[in-house]
Amino acid sequence: MKERLSASVDADLLAAAQEAVAAGRAESVSAWVNDALRLKAAHDGRLRALGEFVAAFEAEHGEITEAEMSEAARRTRGRAVIVRGEPAPDHQGGLGESGAA
């Protein structure tokens, strides 16, 4: 069921919606806004679920420290595949390489 909505939006966002309609990427401005609201609602739901997961993890295992987050970020960067540009000086991963943690 659809409901009518009146909203004020930034001019650049309205222009993006109108451009999407003109290019055939959206059926109408209303459809484009509906899709944007659906994406925002899904994003907010994922953030809420992530927050609940982290809270439950920390309740069981203790607060995640800055050092643990830095180490996890370092390991993740080491496993990343560079698709454009040069790897950072501390990056060891790449195509075909396994960066076992």
Q: Confidence band (pLDDT; 50, 70, 90) for 59? A: very high
Alpha carbon 69 to its chain's center: 18
What one-character DSSP code corresponds to residue 23?
T
Please give the full DSSP string across 24-47, using - where no structure is assigned.
TSSS-HHHHHHHHHHHHHHHHHHH
| DSSP three-state, residue 69 | helix
Mean pLDDT of the region 31-43: 98
Give yes or no for a contact between 25 and 17, defined as CB atoms under 8 angstroms apart. no
What one-character DSSP code corresponds to residue 78?
H
Model-level pTM greater than 0.95?
Answer: no
User: Does position 97 have pLDDT exceeding 50, yes or no?
Assistant: no
Alpha carbon 88 to its chain's center: 22
